Amino acid sequence: MDIVHAHAAKNTMEGIGEFDGTDYQFFHSGGRGEHPAWGTKLFDYHKPEVLHFLLSNVKYWLTEYHLDGFRFDGVTSMLYHSHGLGTSFDNYHKYFSLDSDLDAVAYLQLAAEMCKEVKPDSVLIAEDMSGLPGMCLPVTDGGLGFDYRLGMGLPDFFIKLLKERKDEDWHMGELWNELTSRRPKEKVIAYCESHDQALVGDKTIIFWLADKEMYWQMGKGSHSEVIDRAMSMHKMIRLLTCAAGGDGYLNFMGNEFGHPEWIDFPREGNGWSYYYARRQWSLADNSDLRYSELQSFDAAMIHLTREKGILTQQPKLIAVHEDQKTLAFERGGLIFLINFHPEKTFTYKLSEYKQYKVVLHTAWDIFGGHVDHIKNEGMLMPAGAVVDRRSAMVLERTFDSL
C-alpha cells in the first residue's frame, strides 16, 4: 500500500491541519511547514509526539489490515530541506550536506525497524528519485532499512522516448543503460509507466502509441497499422522492463492490458464527475477486443518470470546493435532477443549454445501477433533465431546445450 508520511493535506475540516488551533501541533510552523510545490503541510519529525503518531499509523495497517508492506511516498521530499526540487544528484556531497533533514532520516529508519519487528517479512519500497546511497541497507549497517527503491526514472524515460523520438531513432545502448544502471546490491522495483501516466495530465504508453485509434480499431476484426505497432511496442516495452529493469516488477491498475483512458477523480475541472474515476476491467475480459491479447501476454510474462526465478539473478548483456535496433541479453537461464527495428527482421547467431527452444514470443497469435504459437512454442533452434521487426523472443537452453 502507498503510505504518505511525507506531507499532509491542509484540510482543517476533515484533516489534521490546525487540529488544536495552531499550525505547529503536527507540522513545522510558518514557511518551513509549507511544501513549495505541492501546497501541503510538512510534518515536524523532531517531535516525539509526531513520531508516535506516524509510527502508530504504520503499525495499525500492518496489524489490523495485515498488509504485506508499504511503498513510502515522497521519500525524496523528506530527505532534504529543499525537498530535492531542482537538484541534480550528481555527486555525493549533495546527498550528505547541510540540506539533509536528519530528523526525517531518523523517522524513516524508525519506521523501517518497526515494520520488521512487527512483521519481519514485510516489504518496504522507497519512492526516492535522488538515489540516496544506503537506502536499501539495514539500519544496523547505517542504512535506512528499505528493501527496494522504486526505479522512478524508467517511466519518465519511456514516455520521453515515445513523445520525442521516432522508433528508428531509439538508442539501444542508452536504453540498456537506463534499465540496468543501479548501485551494486541495491534492489530496484522496475516499472514502465506509473500513476503519473495513468492520471489526467499525461497519457499512458498505449495512448502515446495508439491515440484516438484505440476508440474504434481495437476489435480483433479491425486492421490498423497504428494499432499493430502499438500492440507490439506495448508488449516489448513491458517484457524488456520486467526482464532487465530491476529486482521486482510493478504494474499500475489496467496498464497491463492497455486501458484506453486515464483516471480522473472528481474535481472542479470536470464538474465533480465520477465518470472517469474507474477502470474498465471488462475490456480485458471481452474476447472480441485486443485488450484481452495484451492481458494474455502480461499473464504469460509474469508466469514465466516467477517460474524461472528471473528476478533473483542479474541481467547479462550479450549484444547491442544500434543500426539493427536490437538487444540480446541473458537472465535467469533465459535468453532475451529484442528487435525494435520498425521494418527489418534479423537472425541472431548464438554459437555458444548448441540448442535452445522458444518459451515466449511477443508475436504469437494468442497475443495479437502473426506467429502460430502452437507450432512455435517449444520449437528447437540449433542454429539461430529469426526475430521479426518489432518483436521479442525468449529462449531457453535445452539439456543438449550443456
Domain ranges of the chain: 2-150, 316-401
Query: 292 near 286, Cβ under 8 Å?
Result: yes
Taking Cα atoms as reference points, which of 172, 126, 118 lies closest to residue 149? 126
Number of H helices, E strands in the chain: 11, 14
Please report, as a single letter, which amino acid is at residue 250: L
Identity of residue 60: Y
pTM: 0.92
Alpha-carbon span 11 to 6, nearest angstrom: 16
Whether 2-150 and 316-401 share one fold: the answer is: no
> Which ranges of the chain have pLDDT less than 70?
351-354, 383, 399-402
**What CATH number is given for 2-150 in this structure?**
3.20.20.80
Say what the pLDDT of residue 282 is.
95
Helices (H), 100-224: 102-118, 153-164, 172-180, 195-198, 205-210
User: What is the CATH code of the structural domain delimited by 316-401?
Assistant: 2.60.40.1180
Q: Report the pLDDT value the prediction gives residue 182, as an integer from 0 to 100.
A: 86
269 contacts 277 by C-beta, under 8 angstroms: no
Rounded alpha-carbon distances, angstroms, from residue 309 to 144, 237, 334, 336: 27, 20, 10, 15
pLDDT of residue 178: 95
- What's the pLDDT score for residue 127? 95
How far is C-alpha 131 from the chain's CA centre?
Answer: 15
Question: Which are the contacts of 26, defined by CB distance < 8 A and separation ≥ 6?
Answer: 8, 16, 19, 41, 43, 44, 50, 53
Which residues does the annotation mark as catalytic? 73, 127
pLDDT at residue 389, rounded to an integer = 94
